[in-house]
Homo-oligomer: A and B are copies of this chain.
């Protein structure tokens, strides 16, 4: 990494209005200048812009710096009292000197909160424009620093307190969160300053911001000693508390030059200068240290982590990505070459867990905090608390609607499946052997021979029972775990594929390919459309015959375990619903309990709370995880009907379901799930199944690319199968994945399958179209 060109950005927060943010900015800016650190001061949002230039914070800082004040066109329009300036991104001052400059971007005349100023004057600036304008300033400054091979400092002064509304009404701390610059908080020395300052600090930190300093303009002799009290309460954190001399002004800002003279006197005080220089040095040191540390994290990770599913022999530092934070479905990663942070779209949805956008992520944080303080964890058996009760209601009224009456909690998808198998097998045993089998120690039965009917290419988790429930593969051979035994009968599903813009059904592992006139994947699930497809009757017969042939010889089948609609880990393979309906129907006919593994497919992955509504079949048992907590913390659940539950009722305690984990039904996880359900129900439930994320025409175009064997999209998932070697060891997608990462898209292939997965709260027009365009470009 080059030295020089490193830019430390700091937000200047105030615990509230009028605590001295601008004074601190003046002091820090001029200290930076004295220390020969190139400095740029930025006031993105300024109200009270009128004829008197000193009412603008930027003007005062510019004066303190002895530099020009660059006023953006939006703010200028306020000064001039003219309308206009909307959506111009401020336009402020990317041309200023790299060594010392001040700029104001957006401005309104009335000296009120920005949201009220917009109400009075109009000229709304959307949140995204504010963020983009600041980022442009950062980038421009960074370029100048790079050109001059210097390290610099940018100060961004917030208007009001952290939860003051911005122009759109969005609270400033929420509005600025996509930037997540570290901050300096200017606290209050007044009566009530301790509670105000500490609350402001909590509001900043609960949004994932870091603070390095808490500065307080307080007279150590005459003041309330808020500094000492604050110091006691932030002890042990990273935040350093410092005191600066207050400016006891006899004039006010409207006194113009008089005020500025006072300001300059204050700035020239030895104490002010020394304090400010200490802070600037701290900030620059901390930034350079952090840049250095981030690069070194890779080596430490390589040395101490044991990654899942990663062959460490082949791993080098270059492949390791440093994630500094996540903003909705965007990672902010460290770019070692440039020595700065860079975004990467999380196209794997963080292993398919990504629920919230950034706003929801911050709301979630508060819900988790509340639950942690109210409950922490509490033991579950024979207890009830509000979060688990609400979560159970959400599940039974949601995906369990119409068939489930009981919820069993565990920690993840894998444990939810183990529990589901225990439930199904008990049902099977009781149905087959009668309830007396529970107490009969001498019952003669081939328990070990109980098999589960599954789909080939299925995946249900990595614990032993989950692995025994899928066919032998590289994932579960004896070298992975000597105890692995195939205890399943895996059937080959009929898959749905699009190539060259044409949809077909691939039956019997490709031995029969049925072309269809369908235009999209959803057509296959639409009974009205499907009724007109004249090959369906024939297909149904064929499916039934094959299923019967495969299963008839097995007489000890204890459960059917399937991922309905789509197999995720198996390669994003979409299955003909007709085939799954035939399979379920056959198993039902034989009294085999049906388990839906909805861990990947459920909870709006494909637009439906449960894909049972897409498939038109209710299961006897179903498992959920991943999106259940909205992408926050692990939680798994197994839902079941009362007939399954009843098979565990007995006079003996030992015939209960003896399975549990320490954190079973933990209130924090249940609270996260409840918040996710609140959002799912409010936003996604209302137009269930109708939301389009990936454009069908663009997907069809992708299916026509030379390298593409199959391009399919449903709900949040777009999957593209490339030609070349298939399976886990395939390197067919390696070049494409690298190209995507270079373009800011973090994709994790499944062998030769590249997929994009967005959050269920995404919209097609937000970023999906751009991503499809990029993919098309790279494929061509």
A376 near B351: Cβ-Cβ < 8 Å: no
For chain A, residues 386 to 430, give those with C-beta under 8 angstroms from any C-beta of chain B: 386, 388-389, 392-393, 396, 405-409, 411-415, 418, 421-422, 425-426, 429
Interface check A664, CB cutoff 8 A: yes
Q: Within 8 Å CB of A461, what residues of B?
A: 661
- A389 to B: closest C-beta gap in Å: 6
How many copies of this chain sit in the oligomeric assembly? 2
Instruction: Verify A164–B180 contact, CB threshold 8 A.
Output: no
Query: Which residues does chain B contribute within 8 Å of A475, judged by CB atoms?
Result: 654, 658
A306 CA to B659 CA, complexed, in Å: 11
CB pair A308 B657 closer than 8 Å: yes
User: Does A501 lie at the interface of the complex (its beta carbon under 8 Å from any beta carbon of B)?
Assistant: no
Contacts of A298 in B (CB 8 A): 384
Contact A376 B632 (CB under 8 A): yes
Pair B633/A668 contact, Cβ less than 8 Å = yes
Bitwise interface map of A from 470 to 513 toward B, beta carbon under 8 Å scored 1, else 0 = 00001100111111010100000000000000000000000000
Which residue of chain B lies nearest to A474 when distances are taken between CB atoms in the complex?
Answer: B654
Residue A352, interface by CB 8 Å: yes
Binds B, one of A189-197, A280-288, A526-534, A766-774: A189-197
Within 8 A of B (CB), among A676-727: 678
Number of A residues contacting the other chain (C-beta, 8 Å)? Answer: 172
Q: Is the CB of B377 within 8 A of A631?
A: yes
In contact, A382 and B320 (Cβ under 8 angstroms): yes
Chain B residues contacting A369 (CB-CB under 8 Å) are 205-206, 365-366, 368-369, 372
Q: Which residues of B contact A474 (CB under 8 A)?
A: 654, 658
B232 in contact with A662 (CB, 8 Å) = no
Chain B residues closer than 8 Å to A200, beta-carbon distance: 195, 199
Q: Which of A311-319, A586-594, A603-611, A612-620 contacts B (4 or more CB under 8 A)?
A: A311-319
Query: A270 at interface (Cβ–Cβ under 8 A)?
Result: no
Q: Quick one: which of B202, B225, B314, B468 contacts A203, CB cutoff 8 A?
A: B202
- Chain B's nearest CB lies how many Å from the CB of A351? 5
Closest to A658 in B: B475
Chain B proximity of A462: nearest CB distance (Å):
4
Nearest Cβ distance between residue A443 and chain B, in whole angstroms?
A: 8
Contact pick for A662, options B380, B626, B651, CB 8 Å: B626
**Inter-chain contacts of A202 with B (CB < 8 A):** 163, 199, 202-203, 206, 366
| A188–chain B nearest beta-carbon distance, Å | 10
Q: Are B366 and A229 in contact (CB under 8 A)?
A: no
A517 within 8 A of B: no
Are B194 and A198 in contact (CB-based, < 8 A)? no
With A313-B650, A662-B625 given, is the CB distance from A632 to B372 under 8 Å?
yes
The answer for the CA separation of A739 and B657 in the assembled complex, in Å, is: 28
Tell which of A67-75, A244-252, A324-332 binds the partner: A324-332
Beyond A315-B382, A656-B310, is A192–B205 a contact (Cβ under 8 Å)? no
Chain A contacts with B in 361-382, Cβ cutoff 8 A = 361-362, 364-366, 368-382
Quick check: is A5 within 8 A (CB to CB) of the other chain?
no
Give Cα distance in the complex from A162 to B195, angstroms.
6
Q: Are A485 and B448 in touch, CB under 8 angstroms?
A: yes
Please give the distance in Å from A291's CB to the nearest CB on chain B: 14
The answer to whether B206 touches A366, judged by C-beta atoms less than 8 angstroms apart, is yes
Beta-carbon contact of A634 and B634 below 8 Å:
yes
Q: Hey, which chain B residues are within 8 Å of A653, CB to CB?
A: 311, 314, 728-729
Nearest residue (CB) in B for A206 is B369
A661 lies within 8 A of B414 (CB): yes
- Does the CB pair B412–A663 fall under 8 Å? yes
Tell me whether A438 and B634 are in contact in the complex, defined as CB-CB below 8 angstroms, given that A195-B160, A384-B323, A626-B662 are known contacts.
no
Q: Does the CB pair B383–A437 fall under 8 Å? A: no
Which of B224, B485, B651, B654 contacts A112, CB < 8 Å?
B224
- The answer to whether A206 touches B208, judged by C-beta atoms less than 8 angstroms apart, is no
* B375, B406, B463: the one within 8 Å of A465 (CB): B463
Asked if A301 is at the interface (CB within 8 A of a chain B CB), the reply is yes
Whether a CB of chain B sits under 8 angstroms from the CB of A648 is yes
Q: Are B196 and A668 in contact (CB under 8 A)?
A: no
B373 engages A307 (CB within 8 Å) = no
Which residues of chain B are within 8 angstroms of A632 by Cβ–Cβ distance?
A: 372, 376-377, 668
Given contacts A309-B659, A418-B463, 14 further A-B contacts (CB under 8 A): A180-B374, A196-B199, A309-B657, A311-B650, A326-B378, A376-B632, A411-B415, A413-B661, A418-B462, A421-B481, A425-B483, A633-B663, A633-B666, A652-B729
28 contacts between A and B (CB under 8 A): A17-B191, A17-B195, A18-B192, A163-B198, A165-B233, A171-B198, A205-B369, A300-B392, A306-B406, A308-B409, A308-B658, A311-B648, A313-B651, A322-B383, A323-B378, A324-B386, A326-B374, A346-B378, A353-B377, A368-B368, A372-B632, A412-B634, A414-B415, A418-B462, A445-B478, A462-B659, A468-B483, A633-B634
